[in-house]
Amino acid sequence: MSEGSLALNALPLACVKQIHRLSQVGGPLADIQLSQVLLLTQGVSHQSVRLIGINCAGDGIDWVLRLPPKSQVTPWLSDDNEAALLRQLAQRGLYPELIYSHGGVLISAFFAGIHLSPQDFALSANRAGYLQHLADALAQLNLISLPPALYAALPKLNLAKRCQQLYQSVLVFPGNICSASLHAMVGKLELLPAFAPTELTLCHGDLHRHNILFSEQGLALLDWEYASIGNRLIDIAALAEDLQLSDAQAAVLIARCGCHMSQLALYRLGYRLLELLWYLQPENVASASDQLLAQQWQRLIQLDQVC
């Protein structure tokens, strides 16, 4: 890799070290001449960098390099299974072309899209188009037939059990969150019916707006670290909450996926419970402000009253 006058020192040191390592002989960045290196994300689970340049054949490259997490985050999938899943998604146009994957490092083609906000979905001029893109993507997910080995490798996500597990591992509750009320909310999820195997499908598991890129051609769904086999309402509830969709808007997504609208309220409650309980884990609680926790608790109270 030729760096030229690239300002790699503008990147986090961990990114610079990883880029140097990947440019060594035999590495995926060997024989690549970069003209730009841009930090895209620096989250809890990973960092990602955009690489723009040319390869040894003179062809232009525009890639996204995802680097392993700084902490020892245990992935749900092995590298091979994650790569196999992403290739399945790329074939359906739901993920950019996968170029390289090994040891937690992942390189994919850059997708020129934008993140949308709840305000974008509140605009009547754009609402139908955005919802249609989402509905099409969820319908595509329902059509994916995973190889048996990959299907077996994905965790089976039971929303009630997962919330119960997270609740039991919380050691300290902030003063403005009532432990007894939270426990009752978790117990309320037991009202969700058991689903037949035919109702279970590939779920993203963390489908908020920052993991979706929209373009005129469609969208890309990013960050599949929490992929699982579950009910599609897990993803629809996450979208409905994060994008502040009305019940009528959520019904558009539900209709395309053959789910039941009557269960959406409990799934919305479950999604917000998962989110809050994740922040209340001993290893994560420092990353949440008191204001954020208070806002999430108030939203849970509202959802609990609806259920």
Q: How many CB atoms lie within 10 A of CB 60?
A: 9
Q: Which domain holds residue 239?
A: 118-306
Is there a single domain that holds both residue 94 and residue 196?
no
2 found inside a domain: no
Is there a single domain that holds both residue 19 and residue 64?
yes
235 found inside a domain: yes
Is there a single domain that holds both residue 252 and residue 148?
yes
Say if residues 235 and 228 touch (Cβ distance below 8 Å).
Answer: no
Sequence-distant (6+) residues with CB within 8 A of 216 are none
Specify burial of residue 224 (Cβ count, 10 A radius: 0-12, 13-18, 19+).
Answer: buried
Is there a single domain that holds both residue 179 and residue 211?
yes
Among the candidates 109, 143, 158, a domain finishes at 109
> Is the pLDDT at 94 greater than 90, yes or no?
yes
Is there a single domain that holds both residue 66 and residue 142?
no
Is there a single domain that holds both residue 168 and residue 67?
no
42 found inside a domain: yes
- Higher local confidence (pLDDT), 42 or 188: 188
Is there a single domain that holds both residue 130 and residue 25?
no
pLDDT value of position 7: 55
CA proximity to 48, closest of 77, 32, 68, 27: 68
3 found inside a domain: no
CATH number at residue 59: 3.30.200.20
pTM: 0.89
pLDDT value of position 3: 46
Lowest mean pLDDT among 2-16, 191-205, 214-228: 2-16
Tell me, what amino acid is at 39? L
Among the candidates 85, 109, 133, a domain finishes at 109
1 found inside a domain: no
pLDDT value of position 128: 67
Is there a single domain that holds both residue 166 and residue 301?
yes
